[in-house]
């Protein structure tokens, strides 16, 4: 099979196109013929060397969709030829987190595909069959590939973690990115007011097109005054912070009484500071979110089929042009 190998940490030139033996599925595994693999900004950070679990040389990529090509021994519940999407993380199904239907926090699984185990920058991949979810008719491979990561992270963080309610206001930092643009859609679907923060005026129309009720253009991420103005001085009910520490100071100033702040990402890996009195006097909540559950992916695929949510795909490239995809992502 053809695969894109990450040979070292650095720029897109670290990728090379190689020929490898097609994997043979082992017990409990399915061989997937990949039809689409999303390029996530996490992939860019992995290529640059920010994650210690990224194996070198290795095959990255965790937004995978395709067809089941073969089954290993002791596999049930999936058949050759079925269209499936892969959960972005492996899960064991029997640890205390999996039993509580919080399989996104599995204690025993192999973790994110494309790190310690091979990912989707290849023609084929062998994965545990438990990680597969059927794609409904009418949902394309490209759409499905986006669901577990970009759309799933937004949905889990806003619905399960932040518990967004109709009529609330949700401020989304990094709103024009992969998770951000889907968070705008999810917030609207949940009945909330979506306030999108971006650093570039050129992205305003894109955000409005995908459902943002308000757009704050803030190149220096000093958006608190405008967020408060838009909410009549009250502040926002939820901050969905994809940027992390860089947007922390303004996010804190933007929060209303009893507001929730959800950490989704942290682009510069820097810590934040918080005075406990600030949280105590306003009864604020500070939360983290990580991934999506299998049940949520099943629900999201159905919502996509029904047209309630629309995965945003910026474009497609052949496998051999993975390096170019990274260059486009970074620009």
pLDDT tens-digit map of 27-58: 999 999 999 999 998 999 999 999 999 999 99
| Interval 257-311: pLDDT, tens | 999 999 999 888 889 999 999 899 999 999 999 999 999 999 999 999 999 999 9
Q: Report helix, strand or coil for 262.
A: strand
pTM of the predicted structure, to 2 decimals: 0.94
Question: Would you say the C-alpha torsion 156, 38, 264, 187 has a positive or negative sign?
Answer: negative
Distance CA 311, CA 183 (A): 11
Distance CA 286, CA 270 (A): 16
Q: 99-121 burial string, b = 16+ CB within 10 Å, else e?
A: eeebbbbbeebbbbbbbebbbbb
The fraction of the chain above a pLDDT of 90, given in percent, is: 94
Residue with tokens 């604020």: 284
Q: Please say if the pLDDT value at position 111 is more than 90.
A: no
pLDDT band with cut points at 50, 70 and 90 for residue 192: very high
pLDDT band with cut points at 50, 70 and 90 for residue 15: very high
């Amino acid at each position: 099979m053809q695969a894109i190998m990450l040979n070292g940490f650095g720029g897109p030139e670290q990728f090379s196109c190689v020929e490898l033996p097609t994997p043979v599925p082992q017990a409990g595994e399915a061989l997937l013929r990949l039809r689409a693999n999303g390029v996530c900004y996490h992939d860019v950070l992995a290529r640059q060397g920010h994650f210690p679990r990224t194996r070198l040389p290795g095959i990255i990529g965790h937004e995978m969709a395709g067809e089941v090509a073969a089954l290993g021994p002791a596999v049930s519940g999936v058949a050759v030829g079925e269209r499936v999407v892969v959960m972005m993380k492996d899960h064991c199904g029997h640890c205390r987190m999996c039993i509580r239907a919080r399989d996104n926090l599995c204690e025993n699984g192999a973790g994110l595909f494309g790190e310690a185990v091979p990912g989707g920058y290849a023609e084929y991949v062998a994965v545990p069959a438990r990680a597969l979810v059927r794609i409904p008719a009418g949902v394309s491979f490209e759409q499905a590939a986006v669901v577990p990561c970009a759309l799933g992270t937004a949905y889990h963080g806003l619905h399960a973690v932040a518990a967004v309610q109709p009529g609330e206001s949700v401020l989304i930092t990094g709103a024009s990115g992969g998770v951000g643009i889907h968070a705008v859609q999810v917030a609207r679907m949940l009945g909330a007011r979506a306030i999108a923060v971006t650093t570039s005026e050129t992205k305003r129309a894109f955000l409005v097109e995908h459902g943002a009720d308000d757009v704050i253009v803030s190149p220096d991420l000093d958006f608190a005054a405008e967020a408060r103005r838009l909410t009549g001085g009250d502040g926002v009910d939820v901050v969905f912070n994809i940027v992390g520490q860089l947007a922390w100071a303004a996010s804190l100033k933007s929060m209303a009484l009893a507001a929730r702040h959800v950490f989704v990402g942290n682009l510069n890996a820097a810590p934040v500071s918080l005075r406990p009195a600030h949280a105590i006097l306003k009864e604020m909540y500070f939360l983290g979110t990580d991934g999506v559950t299998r049940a949520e992916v099943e629900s999201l695929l159905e919502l996509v089929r029904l047209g309630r949510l629309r995965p945003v795909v910026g474009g497609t490239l052949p496998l051999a042009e993975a390096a170019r995809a990274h260059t486009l992502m970074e620009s």
